[in-house]
Amino acid sequence: MSLPLHHPGDALLMDYAGGCLGEAGGLVVATHLALCPGCRCAVAELDAVGGALLEELEPDALAPGALDRLFARLDEPPPYEEPPTPPRIAPPAVPSLIPEPLRRYVGGNPAAMRWRMMAPGFQCVDIPLSRGERARLIRMKGGAAAPRHSHEGLELALVLDGGFSDALGQFARGDVAVGDGSIDHKPVADPEGCLCLSVTLGRLRLTGAVGRFLNPFMRL
């Protein structure tokens, strides 16, 4: 299998490693990481930057007795660890098109999902996330074109199967298309169609506005 050619880029990888990327962006980045050894390596380096920054912090003394309190808990039996919600889906016998961590959100079989028609040639499955964020699986028929647009905010699309092309190039399995307001684009699905994971980040967190999804796919 060929490796991805289009990557999330340093800024998103650092946001992910630093822990400030929300669940929606994290879902795209982590699912890309499952398909991209190079970016896994880059994230390991950025985790090391986190370790170095932790070492460099000015220590803030704990309250007296903190160590004693902790020692008193060391022999506690570990609490029952709740399974992650949504629960992890057992790996299928045949490797799925949909790798973890996305699989635990939507399952591994696109044919079993409840697709909703968005527009001719476009279907989607909404993926609810914490804090009102949202991601979508989008299925485009061969040759289907999203409306031309540009906007504020950052849209991420990770190709899982098939592919699409736009002004930035051709995108195939594992590739991440990162669009921001400076790009006026019009993705067109490859002849075999396209399955992708799509999220829009952007000013949501800053303005507190809820549900302003500006992604071209989201608008449909």
Partner 1 sequence: MERALSSFFPSPGRHARLVCGRAFAFNAAMQDPLPPAAAAMSPDDLLLAVGRARDRAAFAALFGHFAPRLKAYLRRLGADAQGAEELVQEVMLLVWRRAETFDPAQASAATWVFTIARNRRIDALRREQRPEIDPDDPALVPDPVEPADRTLETAQDSGRLRAAIRALPPEQAELLRMAYFEDKPHSAIAVERGLPLGTVKSRLRLALDRLRKALRDPS
Interactions with partner 1, residue window 122-161 (CB under 8 A)? 129-131, 153-154
Structure token pair of residue 87:
């629960």
28-39: burial string, b at 16+ Cβ within 10 Å, e else: bbbbbbbbbeeb
- Of 131 and 186, nearer to partner 1 (C-beta) is 131
The three-point CA angle 150-28-54 to 5° equals: 110
Site for partner 1 in 60-89 (CB under 8 A): 60-63, 66-67, 69-71, 73-74, 78, 84-85, 88
- Of 54 and 114, nearer to partner 1 (C-beta) is 54
- Of 90 and 211, nearer to partner 1 (C-beta) is 90
Whether the Cβ atoms of residue 35 and residue 5 lie closer than 8 Å to each other: no
Alpha-carbon distances of 9 from 76, 175, 186, rounded to whole Å = 43, 11, 21
Over its C-alpha atoms, the chain yields an Rg (Å, rounded) of 20
Q: Tell me the closest approach of the beta carbon of residue 34 to partner 1, in angstroms.
A: 5
- Of 90 and 114, nearer to partner 1 (C-beta) is 90
Residue 87: exposure state from Cβ atoms within 10 A (0-12, 13-18, ≥19)? exposed
- Of 52 and 120, nearer to partner 1 (C-beta) is 52
Q: Tell me the closest approach of the beta carbon of residue 143 to partner 1, in angstroms.
A: 28
- Of 112 and 120, nearer to partner 1 (C-beta) is 112
Q: Tell me the closest approach of the beta carbon of residue 194 to partner 1, in angstroms.
A: 18
Helix residue ranges per DSSP H, the chain: 10-18, 23-35, 37-56, 66-73, 103-106, 204-207, 216-219
Site for partner 1 in 24-63 (CB under 8 A): 25-27, 29-31, 33-37, 40-41, 44-45, 47-63
Segment interacting with partner 1 (CB under 8 A) among 16-24, 112-120, 136-144, 211-219: 16-24
Contacts of 41 (CB under 8 A, 6+ apart): none
Site for partner 1 in 188-217 (CB under 8 A): 201-203, 205-206
8 binds partner 1 (CB under 8 A): no
Q: Tell me the closest approach of the beta carbon of residue 117 to partner 1, in angstroms.
A: 27
Site for partner 1 in 91-110 (CB under 8 A): 91-92, 95-103
